[in-house]
């Protein structure tokens, strides 16, 4: 029986079918697995998420903080980028130990030279030598587990410094590949120094903030950006395009009212005065009368063990320290007496002339209070003093009697008048920590009213007293002191701060005129301090014996101050020019008396106020009289001859027309006609011959005559009008004498 031969075709088809079945089954299994991974497997999803998170990350891009600017645009505080290199000691570029040693040795030398001893002293870090840097590199390289992000620079560097390093320093120039990263910081800098206007500019530290930095933090901060980054090497990331990327929006710039130059000058002058007088603290405020803009605000307090050494702006005494104002409060009382009680300049009281001599007592009883005068206001009038003289001589007895006798039957009316002037309120700087004034009600009316008449039983911060003086300067309109004028983003003004009126009219025109008359009269008593102030002004000085306490970083002052302690607040408020006030200046200084009468306001605060006023007058052209141009061009009547080139240059600038006829001559004479035309003619100069020096100045005439061998004597000043030897005369010897006469 013959064998049955296999069917090749069927065998091939069978195998194909088996393969198809295997592929289909595999495909089904893969599809099932994919569905499982995507839909049901939590572990796979977590693994994928971890992997994605390790490769991609979303980071915030900080916005560039806005600047705080002076009124002229100068930056008082600004943010600048700083950079720090972070070295990856496990990078592949550091695989060769021999090359690592060679390149880090060179880099260490470069870093030691760049971050020099002078740079370390200037920026306040410890200087590192080449050996120190090399040890840092070697220790990190030899570590068992090499760190992948190590900071080497002792300080962050600027963009220009970073670019220089990238161009010139080994390793940083990329000659060993990707071995380092770069961190960027937004650092706050203060171009005028860390202490200038510190209480105005402010600071942000951790969660605390004060000053404009804190008040306008939202506007300065801007909007933070966001970006997606991909890891390109261990420790190194690069930005990738992503729909979730958001660019940061830089913060706005805050434009203050501060005049940078004036602030510097006032700070320096107050600092010198505090050192000289061993003061505890000092305040200087300059306001623009019409707007209330604060052009300068200085707050300096003593630091350390003793006064008279180091002063910084650690506390805003101008708005946060409320003390007894003393005699500067007589301005407020004068406003009340004239406006409410109808006082005129002739209202008089007996100040009991020469209180140190009469009755052997230095004080007088007014109501229930003992009152004394530091100045003898009634020396020439038998003690009878009118309002203007009492204000000018700062008579405590006059104002104690005036307030007490006017309001003793209705003391609440006096308090109402004080409140009308907002004495017990803030004046608009609450954001800077301003304290309101306080009107005492702790004692009987008979004791309190006379003392309030000369500035006791009331406490005020310096800014409030300055606001009252400014209201008088501003025609009776009390405006809120202002420190921020506008908010800007680039060249665009986002917001303009308005002038805020506190009291539209504090008094009538009659009252204002009389009060200003009193202040001008008071300024006449300060000529020993203000003698060289080139502008008329009105002022009032004050001296107050203070009790209580104030914030201090000086060990001598960190205690409660009692009645027996000799702490005084000396102050002066002023406005100028007297006829059209534009500026208000208020200066005060607190000190402990250490000698006889070393605490009066005129001596403590006066010199600072005088220098501030002189500075403003010098730098404000509107305070100077203008010069009208002449109807016809001016021309000189004569021009001195002399060196031809110099003379031609002078004639070119002074004469409307010149004619030069001195070709080839180094010296020339000048003739000027009635129309001012200058004709320059040559002067022949030859040794042994007398030259013509008429019309020349003394310097050129002396030079030429002595050059020609003459012994010269002269008299007069100006230009040469006559010479004793005629020009062209030949000299017989080298010591021939000649006399020249000069006239203007």
Q: Which positions ≥6 away from 595 have C-beta within 8 Å? A: none
Predicted local distance difference test score (pLDDT) of residue 673: 86
Predicted local distance difference test score (pLDDT) of residue 54: 59
Q: How many beta carbons lie within 10 A of that of residue 621, not counting itself?
A: 7
pTM of the shown model: 0.76
H/E segment holding residue 591: strand 583-592
Distances, alpha carbon 95 to alpha carbons 99, 100, 102, 143, 521, in Å = 9, 8, 13, 14, 86
For helices 509-523 and 330-339, the axis angle rounded to 10 degrees is: 150
Give all strands of the β-sheet with 236-239 in edge-to-edge order: 56-61, 225-233, 236-239
Average confidence (pLDDT) per 10 residues, the chain, 744 residues: 63 80 86 75 60 64 84 92 87 87 93 93 90 91 84 89 92 86 84 92 84 91 76 62 74 94 97 95 97 97 92 95 95 96 93 57 83 79 88 93 95 95 94 94 91 94 97 96 93 91 95 96 90 93 91 89 89 96 97 86 95 96 82 80 89 86 87 86 88 91 89 91 90 84 90
In 190-347, where do the E strands start and end? 203-205, 208-210, 225-233, 236-239, 253-256, 281-288, 294-304, 310-312, 322-323
What is the largest distance, in Å, between two alpha-carbon atoms of the chain? Answer: 170
Overall CATH class of domain 262-622 = alpha beta
Closest CA to 196 of 106, 297, 127: 297
Beta strands 369-371; 322-323: pairing state: unpaired
* Structure token pair of residue 87: 């070295």
Is 600 in contact with 543 (CB distance < 8 Å)? yes
pLDDT (tens digit, 9 = 90+) per residue, 265-294?
Answer: 999 999 999 999 999 999 999 999 999 999
Distances, alpha carbon 19 to alpha carbons 12, 22, 185, in Å = 11, 5, 64
CATH superfamily, domain at 55-74+192-251: Penicillin-binding protein 2a (Domain 2) (3.90.1310.10)
Domain chopping of the chain, boundaries: 55-74+192-251, 86-183, 262-622, 642-743
Is 604 in contact with 593 (CB distance < 8 Å)? no
Phi, psi of 230 (to 5 degrees): -115, 140
Closest CA to 687 of 724, 733, 725, 647: 733
Q: How many Å is the Cα radius of gyration of the chain?
A: 42
Closest CA to 421 of 331, 341, 343: 331
Nearest-angstrom CA–CA distance, 573 and 578: 13
Nearest-angstrom CA–CA distance, 577 and 623: 8
Distances, alpha carbon 194 to alpha carbons 191, 214, 484, in Å = 8, 16, 20
Distances, alpha carbon 321 to alpha carbons 265, 300, 317, 425, 551, in Å = 23, 12, 5, 14, 8
Same CATH fold assignment for domains 55-74+192-251 and 262-622: no
Nearest-angstrom CA–CA distance, 633 and 620: 28
Q: What pairs with residue 282 in β-bridges? A: 300, 589
């Amino acid at each position: 029986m013959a064998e049955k031969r296999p069917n090749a075709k069927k065998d091939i088809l069978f195998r194909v079918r088996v393969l198809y079945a295997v592929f289909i089954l595999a495909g089904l299994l893969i599809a099932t697995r994919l569905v499982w991974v995507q839909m049901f497997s939590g572990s796979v999803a977590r693994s994928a998420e971890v992997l994605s998170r390790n490769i991609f990350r979303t980071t915030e891009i900080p916005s560039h903080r806005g600047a705080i600017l002076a009124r002229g645009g100068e930056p008082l505080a600004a943010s600048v980028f700083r950079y720090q290199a972070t070295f990856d000691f496990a990078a592949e570029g550091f695989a060769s130990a021999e090359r690592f040693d060679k390149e880090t040795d060179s880099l260490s030398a470069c870093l030691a030279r760049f971050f020099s001893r002078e740079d370390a002293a200037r920026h306040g870090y410890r200087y590192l030598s080449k050996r120190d840097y090399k040890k840092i590199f070697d220790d990190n390289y030899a570590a068992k587990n090499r760190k992948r992000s190590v900071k080497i620079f002792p300080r962050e560097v600027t963009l220009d410094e970073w670019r220089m390093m990238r161009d010139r320093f080994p390793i940083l120039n990329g000659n060993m590949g990707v071995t380092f990263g770069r961190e960027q910081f937004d650092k706050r800098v203060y171009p005028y120094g860390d202490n200038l206007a510190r209480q105005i500019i402010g600071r942000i530290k951790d969660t605390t903030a004060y000053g404009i930095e804190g008040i306008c933090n939202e506007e300065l901060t801007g909007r933070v950006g966001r970006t997606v980054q991909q890891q390109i090497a261990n420790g190194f990331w690069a930005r990738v395009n992503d729909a979730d990327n958001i660019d940061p929006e830089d913060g706005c710039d805050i434009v203050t009212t501060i005049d940078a130059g004036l602030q510097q000058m006032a700070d320096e002058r107050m600092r010198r005065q505090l050192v000289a007088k061993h003061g505890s603290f000092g305040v200087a405020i300059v306001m623009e009368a019409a707007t209330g803009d604060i052009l300068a605000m200085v707050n300096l307090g003593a630091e350390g063990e003793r006064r008279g050494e180091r002063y910084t702006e650690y506390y805003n005494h101008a708005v946060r320290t409320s003390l007894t104002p003393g005699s500067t409060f007589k301005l407020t009382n004068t406003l009340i007496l004239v406006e409410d009680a109808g006082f005129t300049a002739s209202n008089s009281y007996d100040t009991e002339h020469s209180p140190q001599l009469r009755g052997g007592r230095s004080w007088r009883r007014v109501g229930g209070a003992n009152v004394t005068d530091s100045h003898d206001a009634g020396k020439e009038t038998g003690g009878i003093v009118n309002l203007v003289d009492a204000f000018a001589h700062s008579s405590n007895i006059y104002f104690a009697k005036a307030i007490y006798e006017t309001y003793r039957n209705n003391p609440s009316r006096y308090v109402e008048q004080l409140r009308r002037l907002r004495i017990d309120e803030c004046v608009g700087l609450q954001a800077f920590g301003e304290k309101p004034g306080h009107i005492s009600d702790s004692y009987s009316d008979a004791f309190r009213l006379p003392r309030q008449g000369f500035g006791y039983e009331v406490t005020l911060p310096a800014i409030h007293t300055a606001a009252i003086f400014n209201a008088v300067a501003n025609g009776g309109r009390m405006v809120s002191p202002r420190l921020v004028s506008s908010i800007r983003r680039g060249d665009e003004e986002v917001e303009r701060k308005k002038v805020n009126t506190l009291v539209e009219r504090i008094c009538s025109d009659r009252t204002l005129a009389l009060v200003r008359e009193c202040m001008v009269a008071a300024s006449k008593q300060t000529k020993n301090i203000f003698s060289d102030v080139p502008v008329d002004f009105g002022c009032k000085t004050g001296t107050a014996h203070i009790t209580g306490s104030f914030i201090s970083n000086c060990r001598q002052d960190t205690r409660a101050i009692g009645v027996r302690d000799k702490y005084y607040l000396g102050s002066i408020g002023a406005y100028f020019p007297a006829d059209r006030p534009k500026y208000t200046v208020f200066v005060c200084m607190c000190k402990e008396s250490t000698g006889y009468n070393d605490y009066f306001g005129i001596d403590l605060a006066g010199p600072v106020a005088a220098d501030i006023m002189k500075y403003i007058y010098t730098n404000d052209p509107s305070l100077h009289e203008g010069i009208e141009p002449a109807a016809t061009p001016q021309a000189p009547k004569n021009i001195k001859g002399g060196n031809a080139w110099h003379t031609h240059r002078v004639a070119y600038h002074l004469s409307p027309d010149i004619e030069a006829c001195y070709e080839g001559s180094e010296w020339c004479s000048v003739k000027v006609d009635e129309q001012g035309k200058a004709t320059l003619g040559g002067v022949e100069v030859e040794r042994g011959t007398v030259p013509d020096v008429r019309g020349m100045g003394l310097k050129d005439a002396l030079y030429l005559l002595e050059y020609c061998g003459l012994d010269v004597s002269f008299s007069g000043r100006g230009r040469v009008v006559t010479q004793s030897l005629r020009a062209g005369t030949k000299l017989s010897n080298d010591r021939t004498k000649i006399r020249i006469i000069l006239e203007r």
